[in-house]
Copies of this chain bind each other. A is one copy, B any other.
Amino acid sequence: MTVLKNCSVGTFAKGLRAVGVIMAGGMGTRFWPLSQKEKPKQFLSLAGNSKSLIQLTVERVQAFIPEDGILVATGESLVEETLRHLPKAVVLAEPVGRNTAPCLGYAAVKVLNEVGDVPLVCLASDHVVDGVENLSRIYEEAAQIAAKEDVIITIGMKPVRPDTGLGYIQRGEQYAPAKSFAGHIYRVASFKEKPAFELARQYLASGEYYWNGGMFIVRPSVLLAALGKFMPEMAAVLEQIREAMCLADGSKQIKELFSSLQSISLDFAVCEKADNVLVMPGENFSWSDIGTWASWAEYVQTQFPQTEGNYGHQGSCFVQSENCAVLGKDRPVALVGVKDLVVVDSEHGILVCHREATQDVKFVVEHLAKLQRN
């Protein structure tokens, strides 16, 4: 096992003007049979190439942040796997999962200690983007603004359907940054939880709402100040963690302190209350959080259209079949006379799932766990 110096591995490059913070604590099993406890979604190659989602996430900021300018916050049990995917990154271990507010607060004090008060570009580790260069430019512009102004910038994805599986950001009045800026940027009027369909339809129609992709661009000092204002207890503990980080043997203490933090999202803890939160519209790229096998299928079918709406790896074979997506490796997978299926072949098992039932894959995981116990 890698030795964790103060709960982290690796050191930051010198002279960084921004630090990427990748939130990679996810432990989901929605992607059985590919995802496993020791290899959750962010480490899978779900974007139609050989790279893992976390590697592709890092590539989105590499135009202006090198790999050793990346801090990956993840669970202790995932540190090894993270280093396999990002050998040069700095890996910060969370002793327990505590949602995004503690995770980003922890990252903020780490960066403040070791790099300085440079903008953090905070991203989920398991989303996909098509049109990366456009999103990268937005990140860079946001980082330039956040470097000079005490604001928390979110990126709002222009919605293309009334999705009920995502949170939304409502924009308010336009905001004029000090730095001359060609694009549009707005104050955030409100954050909305996953809406019912009718409401989602209204959000889409109004043109005032964006999908919340959980991206934040903010300086550590600004984030910690906001936490100090709205989550004083958390801010106090984070300050203690910051001090413990300077001790050679602080790691045990950090674990205890971090574990004591309240599990809460940054949206809920800070962004919904703070008045310095901005939203920068993300356009000219397509984004997906790939929440289920169904959204994976939709993504690959759109990115790599094949005949009859099917998508499959080399060696897959479709006979009288439509609108199916197959993910496998070497063995042939043949679909005959079927429709609307997602089929996944892996060493751990085979999934044959109707596209509208992919949320039930969790029952498979439960069932197999029960079988193993008996």
Contact = CB atoms under 8 A, between A and B. Distances in A.
A320 B360 CA distance: 9
The size bracket of the interface on A is 35 or more
B334 A349 contact: yes
A336 B367 CA distance: 12
B332 A350 contact: yes
A351 B352 CA distance: 10
Contacts of A332: 33, 348-350, 364, 368
A346 B353 CA distance: 19
Interface in A310-357: 315, 317, 319-320, 328, 331-338, 341, 343, 345, 347-354, 356-357
How many subunits of this chain does the assembly comprise?
2
Q: Which of A335, A352, A361, A368 has the most CB of B within 10 A?
A: A352
Contact of A364 (B33, B334, B352, B368): B334
Contact of A348 (B320, B331, B357, B360): B331
A57 interface: no
Contact of A351 (B336, B341, B356, B360): B336
A182 interface: no
Nearest to A368: B332
A343 to B, nearest CB: 6
Given A320-B357, A345-B350, A32 B334 contact: yes
